[in-house]
A and B are shown apart, each in its own frame.
Chain A
Amino acid sequence: MRWLGYVVRRLLMAVLVLVSVSIVTFVIARVIPSDPAAAWVGPHPTPAQIAKAREELALDRPLYEQYLRYVTALLRGDFGTSVKSHQPISRDLRNYLPATMELVLAAMLVAVVVGVPLGVLSGARKGSLFDHLTRLASVAGVSVPTFWLALLLQLLFFAKLRLLPLGSRISNELALYNPIRQITGMYTLDSILTGNWAGLRDTLVHLILPALTLATYPIGLAIRMTRSTMLEVLSERYILAARAAGISERAILFVLALKNAIIPTITVLGLSFVYSLTGAMLVEVIFSWPGLGTYLTDAVLNIDFPVIVTVTLVVTVFYVVVNLILDLVQAALDPRVTLR
């Protein structure tokens, strides 16, 4: 039962965090010199239109009242309306969030599958050529600018080799003749659920380049973290004991050592997952991926304050939840960690 109390306490804290984040973003977004009423009307508004919009949007009310209105609506599940597009933000989120989730999850999967084993082997063979190459790869992974890599991959795989598409989530042909029926908004999942195998193939083909680009950074992270903790763990005496007991090297590395070495890696990958939700903006733009990053960037450029506040809140929720999960996973994996 110690878990339950812990989770409740953490969730209560989370509410506090959310309230503060919403106040800060709301105030910042509203004190920047801008006129949301004019933006609501359009590029060439008349004074009469602005006055009408100001009243309709309650922008003539004091700031604290506007905030309260916003929050009460939020509690009712109403995320507000975009000033620029006049669309309910909840609908936009339903479009953009799954797209980003699909991309980021794919990238994280690649990072774990590629990064962790490389880190383990690199740690196990410290000083070997393999270790040097892997470390080189990890440095490159975290330092190569994603937009540069993205363009390079496009040039190679689209323009020269004609192997992979330039961007977007599915091809025009699929959209025209075999569209994916949307259930979750994650096309890989939706095409499996609806048995649209052509759709699955098309989606995966479109995922490769953006997911690979987005994965380079977490791959680098995973290699470095896993390698350094592996080095530490491998010098422990229980490993020596295991070796003495004749347990196979593979089992030692990937079961005994990795179980203790994986925790920091999971933590950094978890945080980089949340960061990527909006931080994948450049990758999204270059691969024409309709995601949360581009959505937020557009909103910031247009000072579309309801969107800015809402997206910030959504990402904060993810941060809080992912952090909580990470802590719980840590506790599950490592009995020395106590939940307080």
Chain B
Amino acid sequence: MRANRTLYLAVALSLVALLTVQCTGKPQPTAPSVTSAPVAQPTVAEQPTAAESGRAGIFVYAHGTQFPDLDPAKSYSNDSVVMSNCYETLTFYNPPGSEEILSPKLATSWEANEDATEWVFHLRQGVKFHDGEPFNAEAVRFSISNTKALGIGAAYIWDPVEEMEVIDDYTIKFKLSYPAPLDLIASSGYAAWIYSPKSYQEKGSDWFQQGHCAGTGPYIIESYEPGSRLVMTRNESYWGGWRPGQFEKVVFEISQDPVVLQQKIEAGTADFTYGIPPDNEEVIRNTRKDIVVYTNPSFQNLVGLLNTRKPPLDNVKVRQALCYSFPYEQFISAVMGERATQARGVVPVGMWGHGDDLFQYTYDLEKAKQLLAEAGYPNGGFKLTMTYSSGDMDEQQLGEVWKAELAKLGIDLEVQGMNWDAQWQLGKSDPLKAQDIFVMYWWPDYISPYSFLYSMFHSEDEILFNLCYYSNPEYDRLIDEANEVAGTDREKAAQMFIDAQKILLDDAVSLFFYDVSNTHLARADIKGYVDNPAYPHVVFVYDLTREP
């Protein structure tokens, strides 16, 4: 037995030694990811720059998720990072801070009649699809009617379009069944791509899904290995022309492990990435000169929809008390850091229709107590269920923090993580048996406050995303009207959308926790990158150059 004991001791010692080797050096923050236990130390070894290693003209984007569907008529996912480089839309939504909301893309100008039910788009001339076919009004008509007919993904954005009339090769007229901001719809990063009718009809959806494209964009898909890599090459006859220094090829490399993404950007084998463990982002921001960490507001926010049908939350005072019970600032500074800012109203910061002066609930337990007392619950004494999407660490921590706060008010919060599908099914069931608080993210398809205000708060006959089961005819009318004038008088519409948010805040139908900020990492020699929250995580590679 003695020999055995010596052996075990040896094993133990060598394991300890191994662990020590791992843990010496600077203390590393641990990341909230299953597979990210050892954090890669910043590598100081001499690294060949991209220019030296012979890939100066190649832009490598290390991407954390797969590209499920590359069919321009159906794509409604992260594959937009690919689509945005090979397809184009009629109009383009400018990044926040630009003078105009929209700029021309495949359409050079457009106008609407007075009530925004008829729109005429004048198209760019001399544009060719990747398959050599000319881009014209007929192609626009085909793309939109095909996407609409398939009805997959974000195809519903074209719902108002009743009829399209090709006036001449470069003019197309849309007749709408109700007024809508078609110029905004046409800028959507989903379902608004214009593609070659010939390729789509002859080769079919399957051909596109296998990794081919037939758009008008600056890059063409050259090869695709599902789950690992997609390569794009220049469209030499791109209508925008080519300047020296622009990239020849674009490579999307798929790696699902966040630590691997980090290693790639640190080693310089990738030029761009996102989705690495948040704590490590901070380390890189502070220690690496060769990587730029971009943090920008996104158009995504986190809400906690309150069940306005089920007691006790059917009482507006109780709902208001809840809105005062969450420690917004403390949570954001302690948990989220740079990744979030407290929301002001429903529409995220940076988007048109966001109200800079809207009322913002703050953390105030005294006020909450008082409101609860007024509602007849001076010491709380009830139980609430909050559901969130399991696997989301931020939502989970938010639930735990909130539970502790509500306990101080005598309210017992049950925090229940569920698979999104299950969470949503429960939400869509009978409101009286459903959850009390539904935590979820929302982001828009085309950039309009209406996406937020309609989807989550407009009355619904059959519950879909109005998971606070809110129904207020006055509110409905206001946002519907705002959407109708949005096509012709955007300022007036913005004001109406802001007014509508005031109603929601008074009625305390939801907590607006925070607007999410997106963080992207790029190698420092990549110039020209501008984050555009209308097209999440998209890099328009055409705009970039590499300048050591």
User: Is A168 part of the binding interface, using a Cβ–Cβ cutoff of 8 Å?
Assistant: yes
In the complex, chain A residues whose CB is within 8 Å of the CB of B55 = 172-173
Give the Cβ gap from B263 to chain A, nearest Cβ, in Å: 6
Contact B259 A151 (CB under 8 A): yes
Give the Cβ gap from A220 to chain B, nearest Cβ, in Å: 13
Give the Cβ gap from A58 to chain B, nearest Cβ, in Å: 17
Stretch among A32-40, A234-242, A249-257, A325-333 lining the B interface:
A32-40
User: Given A155, A167, A175, which contacts B225 in the complex, CB threshold below 8 Å?
Assistant: A175
In the complex, chain B residues whose CB is within 8 Å of the CB of A33 = 421-422, 425-426
Contact A168 B229 (CB under 8 A): yes
Contact A86 B209 (CB under 8 A): yes
**Interface size of A as a range:** 35 or more
In the complex, chain A residues whose CB is within 8 Å of the CB of B74 = 86
In the complex, chain B residues whose CB is within 8 Å of the CB of A298 = 66
Contact with B along A84-102 (1 / 0, CB 8 A): 1111100110011001000
Contact B253 A168 (CB under 8 A): yes
Tell me the complex Cα distance, A136–B155, Å.
60
Tell me the complex Cα distance, A291–B225, Å.
12
Contact with A along B40-72 (1 / 0, CB 8 A): 110101000000001100101000001011010
* Residues of B300-335 whose CB lies within 8 A of A: none
In the complex, chain A residues whose CB is within 8 Å of the CB of B34 = 147
User: Given B54, B231, B253, B266, which contacts A288 in the complex, CB threshold below 8 Å?
Assistant: B253
User: Given A32, A88, A140, which contacts B422 in the complex, CB threshold below 8 Å?
Assistant: A32
Contact A44 B249 (CB under 8 A): no
- Given A44-B154, A49-B156, A172-B58, are A85 and B35 neighbors across the interface (CB < 8 Å)? no
Stretch among A109-117, A156-164, A188-196, A265-273 lining the B interface:
A156-164
* Residues of A128-159 whose CB lies within 8 A of B: 132, 135-136, 139-140, 147-148, 151-152, 154-155, 158-159
In the complex, chain A residues whose CB is within 8 Å of the CB of B424 = 35, 38
Contact B255 A167 (CB under 8 A): yes
Contact A132 B7 (CB under 8 A): yes
User: Given B256, B263, B422, which contacts A159 in the complex, CB threshold below 8 Å?
Assistant: B263
User: Is B528 part of the binding interface, using a Cβ–Cβ cutoff of 8 Å?
Assistant: no
> Interface of chain A, helix or strand or loop or mixed?
helix
In the complex, chain A residues whose CB is within 8 Å of the CB of B153 = 41-42
User: Given B3, B35, B60, B426, which contacts A151 in the complex, CB threshold below 8 Å?
Assistant: B35
Contact B421 A290 (CB under 8 A): no
Closest to B53 in A: A173
Contact A35 B225 (CB under 8 A): no
Contact B254 A176 (CB under 8 A): no
User: Is A214 part of the binding interface, using a Cβ–Cβ cutoff of 8 Å?
Assistant: no
Closest to B156 in A: A46
* Residues of A157-208 whose CB lies within 8 A of B: 158-160, 162, 166-169, 172-173, 175-176, 179
Contact A169 B256 (CB under 8 A): no
Contact B11 A136 (CB under 8 A): yes
Give the Cβ gap from B81 to chain A, nearest Cβ, in Å: 16
Give the Cβ gap from B57 to chain A, nearest Cβ, in Å: 10
Contact B260 A154 (CB under 8 A): yes
Give the Cβ gap from A265 to chain B, nearest Cβ, in Å: 23
Tell me the complex Cα distance, A140–B10, Å.
12
User: Is A321 part of the binding interface, using a Cβ–Cβ cutoff of 8 Å?
Assistant: no
Contact A139 B11 (CB under 8 A): yes
Tell me the complex Cα distance, A142–B205, Å.
46
- Count chain A CB atoms within 10 A of each CB in B41, B205, B260 and give the residue with the most: B260
Contact B455 A44 (CB under 8 A): yes
Give the Cβ gap from B291 to chain A, nearest Cβ, in Å: 15
- Given A158-B263, A175-B251, are A49 and B151 neighbors across the interface (CB < 8 Å)? yes
Tell me the complex Cα distance, A175–B426, Å.
46
User: Is A52 part of the binding interface, using a Cβ–Cβ cutoff of 8 Å?
Assistant: yes
Contact A44 B422 (CB under 8 A): no
- Count chain B CB atoms within 10 A of each CB in A45, A52, A99, A132 and give the residue with the most: A45
Instruction: Give me 14 A-to-B residue pairs in the complex whose CB atoms sit less than 8 angstroms apart, sorted by A's number.
Output: A33-B421, A41-B151, A41-B153, A42-B154, A86-B209, A88-B206, A139-B11, A159-B43, A159-B266, A166-B267, A168-B255, A176-B231, A287-B260, A303-B419
Given contacts A168-B229, A286-B259, 19 further A-B contacts (CB under 8 A): A33-B425, A35-B424, A40-B152, A42-B76, A45-B464, A48-B151, A48-B156, A85-B209, A87-B69, A91-B210, A92-B226, A159-B40, A159-B43, A159-B263, A166-B263, A172-B58, A172-B229, A175-B231, A179-B223
Closest 8 CB pairs of A and B: A290-B227, A34-B421, A85-B68, A288-B255, A42-B76, A33-B425, A42-B153, A33-B422
